[in-house]
Amino acid sequence: MKIGTVLKGLHHDENELARTLLRVADQHRADHEVFHLGRDLADWSVRHVREIAAVAGSFGEQLDPAPDDTPSPVDQARRWVSQRMGRSSATELVLVRDLRDVYLRASGVLTDWEMVGQAAQAIVHDELLELATRCQAETKRQATWANAKLKEVSTQALVV
């Protein structure tokens, strides 16, 4: 079975989604919705990482349950600049790009969860199926939020 390999990739992708959400939240803290909801949505991916690591052992993969969420020096500098700049037309264009990145990452993770769910059904693995179903629904919410916020912000950034 290659489910372990897919879980390893999903583990990596959830880590990246969590990092991206945290980076975007911190970089755009002047937008309170992006800051607070972005951090909450990142927490979902952090939990997903732990849960993937817990089940991956059954499929021959040993994965780290604790994601590396230490901000890089570049992310720390972005946070510092964000705190001082507030909202401007330039930062709105950056937010559009960042939300697009979140949406694309979440969409990829959503596809990964779909594959894991299909495999869990095929091998009749109830624990994995429950995990895939629950996490897929949460990831869909992450992608939906990013898409809706992207629509809102891009209209303002590109037209005004």
> For 94-129, what is each residue's pLDDT tens digit?
999 999 999 999 999 999 999 999 999 999 999 999
Residues 24/27/29/32 CA torsion (nearest 10 deg): -20
* Residues 6+ positions from 35 with CB-CB distance below 8 Å: 25, 26, 28, 29
- Whole-prediction pTM: 0.85
User: For the domain that residue 111 is a member of, what is the CATH number?
Assistant: 1.20.1260
Instruction: Please give the tally of structural domains in the chain.
Output: 1
Per-residue pLDDT of the chain (160 residues; tens, 9 = 90+): 699 999 999 999 999 999 999 999 999 999 999 999 999 999 999 999 999 999 999 999 999 998 665 655 555 545 555 444 555 456 789 999 999 999 999 999 999 999 999 999 999 999 999 999 999 999 999 999 999 999 999 988 788 6
Domain that holds residue 125: 3-159
* Residues 6+ positions from 91 with CB-CB distance below 8 Å: 28, 30, 82, 85
C-alpha 26/C-alpha 54 separation (Å) is 29
